[in-house]
Amino acid sequence: MKQNHIYNSVERLGDLLKVGARQAGAEHGLQPVHVEVLHYLSICNRYSDTPMAVTDYLGLTKGTVSQTLKVLEKKDLLVKSIDENDKRITHLKLSESGQKLVADLLPTSLFMNACAQLSPEQQSNIDSSLKLLLRALLTANNLKTFGVCKTCRYNQQTSDGNYFCGLVKQPLTSDDTQLICREHEDI
């Protein structure tokens, strides 16, 4: 029953990370979920910086996320702006202090200590194993994958070496393609 072993390890890792996030966030008056939202906003692209995207990513309800965002806005860690084309949609951008805070918090020192003990080969093995498990978990449950453009079926490379998203019909810079997207779909 390897499944149970894997489950145990993932559950425990998740707990430990939450403890680390709680410690790190507490120094700035933030809850673990706040740290996660700030983290998400620091790695998502401009099509995925909305309350609904955060909702899908964290697996919470939109009402819950709305409250969380209100707190972060009040603390001036993010700025809301209404989409030009669709006035229902709100975009969330990290403020300067928000960006600074994310850089401070992530990854937590708890985690850096651990990785320092591992060889580059071990880290690579762990990285690919985790990604494999994650993808299995997401696809098996029909959840959004939130991957980067490199692994997305909509991504096209133009003849001059630039990138183009076939879904939103927009050109993307190389930096763009490093960010995660709520519309991502595996190839």
Name the residues that contact a second copy, by CB under 8 A: 2-19, 36, 39, 43, 58-59, 106-108, 110-118, 120, 122-127, 129-134, 136-141, 143, 146
With CB cut-offs between 5 and 8 Å by kind, which of DNA, a second copy, none does residue 130 bind? a second copy
149 secondary structure, DSSP code: G
Residues with Cβ within 8 Å of 106's Cβ and at least 6 positions away in sequence, in order, are 35, 39, 42
Tokens representing residue 124 in the block? 């690579």
Residue linked to tokens 């997401």: 138
How many residues make contact with DNA (CB under 7 A)? 29
Provide the minimum distance between the beta carbon of 70 and DNA in the complex, in angstroms, as a whole number: 6
List binders of DNA among 19-58 (CB under 7 A).
22, 26, 29, 31, 33-34, 50-53
Phi, psi of 79 (to 5 degrees): -125, 135
- CA 44 and chain centroid, separation: 6
- How far, in Å, CA of 131 to CA of 146, rounded? 12
The reply on whether position 86 binds DNA by CB under 7 A is yes
The single residue among 2, 5, 88, 169 that binds DNA, judged by CB under 7 A, is: 88
Antiparallel, parallel or unpaired: β 163-165 and 155-157: antiparallel
Token pair belonging to 16: 């430990």
48 vs 145, which CB is nearer to DNA? 48
Q: Which is nearer to a second copy, 80 or 135 (CB)?
A: 135
Which residues would be at the binding site for DNA (CB under 7 A)? Answer: 22, 26, 29, 31, 33-34, 50-53, 59-64, 66-71, 80, 85-90
